[in-house]
Structure formats: structure tokens, C-alpha cells
Structure 1
Amino acid sequence: MLLSPFEWTIAKRYMLPGKGERFIALVAGISLVAVMLGVAALVIVMSVMNGFRAELFDKIVSLNGHAIVQAYGGRLENWEEVLANARKTPGVTHASPLIEQPLMTTFNGRVEGILVRGNTQGDIDALADKVQEGSLKSLADGVSNIAIGSQLAQNLGARVGDTITIINPAGRPTPFGTVPRQIAYTVTAIFEIGIYDLDERYVIMPMANAQQLLLSGDTIGTIEITTSDPDRVSEFLAPLERQLKGKAVVTTWKQMNASLFEALAVERVAMFVVLSIIVLVAVFNILSSLIMLVRAKTRDIAILRTMGATRRSLIKVFVTAGFCIGAAGTVAGLILGAVFLYFRQPVVRLVETLTGQNLWDPSIRFLTELPARTDPLEIVIICVLSLVLSFLATLYPAFKAASTDPVQVLRYE
């Protein structure tokens, strides 16, 4: 809808009411701020929800892969053959053996439940960027060195160089009964994955050392698989699952974390709908300010009509005036949302300081920091939603102004 110079001049005049119309200007300003806050809230919340899901997925998958193969009974006897078949499966980009077993550890009188992971050297090296203290290079077969999670180190009070004891209840039988197996290990690295529950429990060691600790011989319990597309993991692994039917079970990341990611998806949709109401309320403010403007300008509109202004021109003038308020609020909301997301961690710390409350407890939120990941498609949808609602809010006042009868208004002038 292109405006002529005359229409644009009138529209600009109505967007900036005079001194006697300050109340209308106040309502229009409130409308702009309301649209800005609604759009900013949508951008911030949806970006944080996307970031939370993406970060959680990346951290879980980086440690556990897209799927795992687990034998019935916990021990995969012919794991070399299964591993070879997994690597040959179309769509599989990586497969490696893995041992994972819940045990206990003690240090200086403190006892914690742990999850011992026996990894290949390649998988251990992949965690190098997550190491906070020490080095993973000292983890080797036959050497009693381990890496532990940062939260576990904090709970135990252990640091790099300390020796902790890992207890395996399934020890060797003796004439006096089964004696739990206790082996001392030196902590040579402390890592942080970023998921509180994993950092609190994980102990990493070479696979041969884990087999020795668990007395499992040459068997393993799990094969970790990564595919080229995590969303098609079930499709890729269907042939492998048929081959292992009755011997082992294939569990995908969707099955392992189904309840968590489904809850996030439902919450994401619910938050979008609820926050869209803020934009809708802001649009009603635009509607009310335009209605007041039309009533205040009834005489001016009648004069414009007698001077030759068409109904179409008046519709375009008032639609432009209202739509510009919505557009300005949308742009301001995008800028405010981007600034908030960029400084989100300082904002969280500031609010925590002012309120004295821990807003982001890693033990509850899973992640150690507030994540954010902006989806361009969602930003476009938010902008279109705001602009379309703003446009619709202008139609009634615009048609009301266009239907003004100059004869009735100017009869007694």
C-alpha cells in the first residue's frame, strides 16, 4: 500500500499528535512500549527454551551418542562382531565399545555413588576440551589414573593428585564370603560436561582398567553409536536392531530422554501461546489509541473529505499511523531481546544479587549456565505475528474514519 505525499504528510501529523492531544500520544507511546515488551519477551523466552533443549541435547549426545546397544544380562559376549556390524550400518558415523557401571567411591571419610565409565582412548581424548584441571593424557591401560566430574570432586573434596578408593560390591568370593573389591586410583583430571547430574557422578577410565575393576574379562556392556542425523536414528538402526533381536536391545536418545524432551516441547508451545497474549494486549492499545485519534480528528477528517480526500486515502492514513506504531515496537522489541540475550548471564547474576535467591541452580536446571539459541524462523514468525495483529487493529478505526459524513459533522460550523 503506497502512500502519496499528501497521505504520508497527514499520517506523520497523526502519528505525532499536538499539545492538546497529549493523552492520545501517551496511549500511543504505551502501545509502542507494550508491543516492544511483548516481542522481546517472546524472543527471549523462545531463544532460552531452544538453547536449553539444544545444549541439553548436545551435552547428552556428546557423552552417550545417539543410541546405545545393551546386551540382555549386562554383558555383550560377542561385542567385536556386533561392533563391526554397527560400523557397517548405513547412516552410522561412529561406534565404540563402552563399559558403564554404578559403584561407590570414598575419600577422607566421604562416600559418594558414582558411575564408572570405561572408554576407548579415542573417546577419552574427545573429552579434552571439557577438562578443567589436570590432563587426560595420563589415562592409560594398566595405570591407576582416573578423571572425575567437577561436582563429584567438590562433593568429595578431592583435587588433582589425590587418591580416591572405588568400591565394587561384586568382589571375589573367599572362605569368609564375598569381599568387596577396593582399588585406589589417582585423580589426574577434573572435567565439567555442563550437566549437573553427570558432573556429580561420572568417573572416566580406560576400558581395560574398567574391565579389571569389574572383573568382567574381555566382555563389555554397551556399544555407543553416533549417526549422521539424530532425528533419523531409529530409521538408520532398524536393520541392526533386527539382527540383534533376542540378543541385545538398541535404545535411541529419544527413548532414553523421551519424557524430558517431550516436556520441553510442550512447555515451549505453551510459553509461545501465553506470551503471544502480551502482544495481543498491546495491539488492543493500538486499537484504542486510534479510536481516540479518530474521535479527536472528526472535524479535520470532514474538512479533508470536503477538500477532495477519498475514503481510500483516509483508510491508508490511519492504517499507516497504527501500523507504524506496531512496526516500531516490533523493531525495538527485537533489539531489546537481542541485548538481553547477549548479557543474559550478567542479568541473572544481577537479579540473584538483588533478590538474594539462586535463580539458576544447576542441580535443578541440569545445565550450569543459562543457555540461549535463536532460531531465525521463529524470529520471523514472531515479527509476522506482531505486524499482522498490528495491521488488523488499525482496520476498524480506519474504516470508521473513512465513513465520516462531512455534511453531518460540518452542518453547524
Structure 2
Amino acid sequence: MARRTPPFAPFEWMIAWRYLRAKRAEGGVSVMTWISLVGITLAVFALIATLAVRSGFRTEFVDTILGANAHVTVYSGGVRDAETGRVDRSIPEYAEMADRVRGVEGVTRVAPLVKGQVMGTANGRNAGVEVFGIAPEDLATIPRVADPETASGDIDAFGGERIAIGSGIARDLDLGVGDSIRLISPDGVKTAFGTSPRVKAYEIAYVFTAGRYDIDRTRVYMPFEEAQLYFNREGAADELEVMIDDPEAVDRRVPEILAAAGDNAYAWTWQDASGGFLRALEIEDNVMFVILSVLVLIAAMNIVSGLIMLVKNKGRDIGILRTMGLTEGAVLRVFFICGAFTGILGTLAGTILGCLFAIYIDPIFSLVNYVSGGGVWDPAVRGIYALPAELQLADVLSAVALSLGLSFVVTIFPARRAARMNPVEALRYE
């Protein structure tokens, strides 16, 4: 009784390798196979590059939000004045409230703030800015602001009538450390004739770059006590800026923070502020993955065309092999190896190119920007200064698994056709 050979025996690999090495004139690999190889390479490269840019963009976006903004903003529901009907949302007992919130598990920092929108003017130029009144020790704990590598000036000089401004404001108003900026507030001094605008000049002690265009171009930090005087908030704060240890799990901390803050307290999280954009990113990610998966499928389908042509060219060989005792399964595996090899090689090449693109995206993008004459990336529209990319193992593995899975599946059908070829019909006209 003949001994059955195990699947994917050495002779099956040898036959497949000979077919792959054979010249086209000898009925070997066709042009379609090379087209499918290039197609899979480019499709996998595009998929990995897109996933890396998507991951990098979300990471950079979230990092700039969390690095310069509160994870949770606690504010008061307000008290309505019976005479004027105005709602006062200031927090007179901000120190006591901050102490209670600091005691909540997971809270790493609580800073009272005074906020207001004013006009900044210098060197004959004007810009609308948002002032954050904050204590110097709290400013020094904001990661994206207190970064000496991206800032100029001395953050320890912040205090009194010395303020910190974003690099975008400094650029728009042509300011630097040591210069003065005038801040004009419409809600100034109350007189018998009404409210007159408040105008005051401040020295710039620190210029920061938070990494977000909208923050750097609008934000000014003022010492907390000075902001209380400037905005008529003596003895009160507008809100509490709360940082927690796990910003992604902010929803779990909010009930405890509100319970510690008091009955009339409300919370606004960073996910509430940017949730719509994050959801749009997630939807875009899913759509892009589906579209690029279709491109991988189209490239993999070219394997079918090349393999069918290979089977047709090797009909005589199939008939001879079958008469020599080769089983249908062995023939199937021979041609499966031929097709799968194209998918594996294309996937490997595409993975290498995609990873190299993500790793060297900065010089690549600089070259594209130089060739196109500049202006390819507008931070005013996209909010961040450069195109980020972050390689994640899960993204690479998902792209590799998708490409290999599709390549193996589409290879089965022409391989089965070769296995079921009748040897008599294959040799009839030989």
C-alpha cells in the first residue's frame, strides 16, 4: 500500500518554486502576477500608512487637549439676582471647594481659574485673546505650557503684572519676552455714567507653545489675583480646572467630583468639549479601513488572474503529475503555494514600506512641502502644526492579517481548478 505524503511536502514546495522561477516563455509567472504583487504591496503600504497617520493624529490631538486644558471643568450653576435678573456664576468659596475636590480619588490637580475675553493690542496690531487667571504654582504644572523646550522666557518670572502669552499671539502682535501688551476689557470700571473699558499694560514674562494653533493664537495666562482685580472678581473664581490620573476614564470620576464640589456644581469634561470631533475621527477611521480593505481585495483578486493563466500554461505538467500519482490535494497545494507566495511577498514589502513611511514621515513630508512650494499643511485649519504618525502593533497586525487572509482565500479557487483538471483531457492533444 502506497504511503501518503504529508501536506506541503518538500516536493510540493520544489514544484511550486520551479513554476515561480520559470520564464514566461516556459509558461511561468505571468505579467498579471507581477501586477498583483505590486498592487498588494501598494495597498498594504497605503493601509499601514493611513492607520499610522490616523493613530498619530488622534494621539497628538488628545495630547494637545489634555496637555493644555482641564480634564474636568467644575463651575457653578449660578445664583440669580432678584433685582437685575442676572445670574452670577462665580464661586466665592473656591478655596474650600478646591480642597474638597482634591480629596477625590484619582484627582491629581485642582486649580481655581478666572476667565475672560479681551482685546490685546501692541505695535499697532490687535488680537482677540482669552485670559486665564491662574496661580503661578498651578501654571507650572500644565505640561504643554510649562515646557522649556518649546517656550521662551522664564516661567518663574510669571506673577504680579507679568503674564504669559501663546506663541501665536506673540507672532501676530510682533511681541517677545520683555515687551508689553495692552489688554482692553469692555467690562471695566463701574462709574456713575456706566461701565468704562479697562485698559492695562502687562509685561510679557513667558511665551509658550502648546502645540495647538487655536490655543497658541488666543490664550493668555495672567496671575490669579491680578485677574481677580482686572475682571472684578474680588474674592471669587469662575471655575475649577481639574486634572485626573486617567483622562480616558473621566466619566467614572465626574460623579465623585460633583459630589465633592457641592449641590450647585456642574462639570464639563474634555470629552464633552471634543467628543464630536473624536466621534468623527472614529467614523472616518472605520470608513477608511473599509475603503482600503477593498483596495487590498482588488489587488488580491489579481492573483486569481495570474494563477489561472499559470494553470492554463501548466496543463500538460498537471496531467503528467497526476498520471505519476500526484493526488488532487498535492496539485491544489502546489498552486496554492504559487499564489500565496505572491500575497506573502507583497504583504511583506508593503509592511516594510508602510513602517518606513510612518517612521520617516517628517523628512518625507518636508520633501513634499518643499517640492510643492510650501503651504501643504495649514495649522489654522487642522489645529496642529505637523502631520503626525504613530506605529501601533495592532494596526500593523490587522493590515498584515487582512492582506494575507484575502490572498490565501482568493488563491484557493484557481488552485482547486488545477486540482480537478482531468489528466486525460490535459494530455489529449499533447
TM-score by length of 2: 0.91
Q: 2:395 aligns with which of 364, 378, 381?
A: 378
Residue 26 (structure 1) shift: 2.3
The answer on whether the counterparts of 1:16 and 1:25 sit within 8 Å (CA) in structure 2 is no
Counterparts of residues 29-44 of structure 1 (less than 5 Å): 29-44=34-49
Q: 1:85 aligns with which of 74, 96, 100?
A: 100
Aligned to 1:113: 128
Residue 343 (structure 1) shift: 2.1
The answer on whether the counterparts of 1:101 and 1:115 sit within 8 Å (CA) in structure 2 is yes
* Matched residue SS, 1:308: coil
Aligned to 1:396: 413
Aligned to 1:94: 109
The answer on whether the counterparts of 1:163 and 1:187 sit within 8 Å (CA) in structure 2 is yes
Aligned to 1:139: 158
**Unaligned 5+ runs, structure 1:** none
Amino acid at match of 1:325: T
Higher percent of residues as helix: 1
Report the Cα distance in structure 1 between the residues aligned to 2:352 and 2:89, rounded to whole angstroms: 53
Report the Cα distance in structure 2 between the residues aligned to 1:22 and 1:30, rounded to whole angstroms: 17
Assess, with a 3 A threshold, how the Cα gap between structure 1 residues 23 and 315 changes in structure 2: closer, same or farther. closer
Counterparts of residues 62-211 of structure 1 (less than 5 Å): 62-72=67-77, 73-126=88-141, 127-129=145-147, 131-140=150-159, 142=160, 144-211=161-228
Report the Cα distance in structure 2 between the residues aligned to 1:216 and 1:22, rounded to whole angstroms: 87
Percent identity over the alignment is 38
Assess, with a 3 A threshold, how the Cα gap between structure 1 residues 314 and 246 changes in structure 2: closer, same or farther. same
Report the Cα distance in structure 2 between the residues aligned to 1:292 and 1:121, rounded to whole angstroms: 74
Residue 289 (structure 1) shift: 0.6
Amino acid at match of 2:186: P
Residue 310 (structure 1) shift: 1.2
Residue 246 (structure 1) shift: 5.3
Residue 245 (structure 1) shift: 6.5
Aligned to 1:7: 12
Report the Cα distance in structure 1 between the residues aligned to 2:362 and 2:7, rounded to whole angstroms: 44
Residue 104 (structure 1) shift: 1.2
Report the Cα distance in structure 2 between the residues aligned to 1:125 and 1:119, rounded to whole angstroms: 10
CA offsets 1:299-357 (integer angstroms, 9 cap, x no match): 11111111111111111111111111111111111110111112212222322333335
**TM-align CA RMSD:** 1.8
Aligned to 2:300: 283
Residue 263 (structure 1) shift: 0.9
TM-score by length of 1: 0.95
Report the Cα distance in structure 2 between the residues aligned to 1:174 and 1:306, rounded to whole angstroms: 109
Assess, with a 3 A threshold, how the Cα gap between structure 1 residues 339 and 7 changes in structure 2: closer, same or farther. same
Report the Cα distance in structure 2 between the residues aligned to 1:22 and 1:166, rounded to whole angstroms: 81
Report the Cα distance in structure 2 between the residues aligned to 1:363 and 1:330, rounded to whole angstroms: 37
Report the Cα distance in structure 2 between the residues aligned to 1:228 and 1:348, rounded to whole angstroms: 34
Report the Cα distance in structure 2 between the residues aligned to 1:412 and 1:335, rounded to whole angstroms: 46
The answer on whether the counterparts of 1:48 and 1:370 sit within 8 Å (CA) in structure 2 is yes
Amino acid at match of 2:48: V
The answer on whether the counterparts of 1:48 and 1:373 sit within 8 Å (CA) in structure 2 is yes
The answer on whether the counterparts of 1:348 and 1:359 sit within 8 Å (CA) in structure 2 is no
Report the Cα distance in structure 2 between the residues aligned to 1:245 and 1:327, rounded to whole angstroms: 61
Aligned to 2:381: 364
Report the Cα distance in structure 1 between the residues aligned to 2:138 and 2:35, rounded to whole angstroms: 56
Report the Cα distance in structure 1 between the residues aligned to 2:253 and 2:216, rounded to whole angstroms: 30
The answer on whether the counterparts of 1:89 and 1:237 sit within 8 Å (CA) in structure 2 is no
* Matched residue SS, 2:217: helix
Residue 74 (structure 1) shift: 3.5
Report the Cα distance in structure 1 between the residues aligned to 2:300 and 2:136, rounded to whole angstroms: 59
Amino acid at match of 2:76: A
Residue 244 (structure 1) shift: 5.0
Assess, with a 3 A threshold, how the Cα gap between structure 1 residues 305 and 196 changes in structure 2: closer, same or farther. same
Aligned residues: 411
Aligned to 2:352: 335
The reply on whether 1:250 has 2:267 as its aligned counterpart is: yes
* Matched residue SS, 1:129: coil
* Matched residue SS, 1:407: helix
**Unaligned 5+ runs, structure 2:** 1-5, 78-87
CA offsets 1:146-187 (integer angstroms, 9 cap, x no match): 111111111111122211101121111224432211111111
Amino acid at match of 2:299: A
The answer on whether the counterparts of 2:20 and 2:29 sit within 8 Å (CA) in structure 1 is no
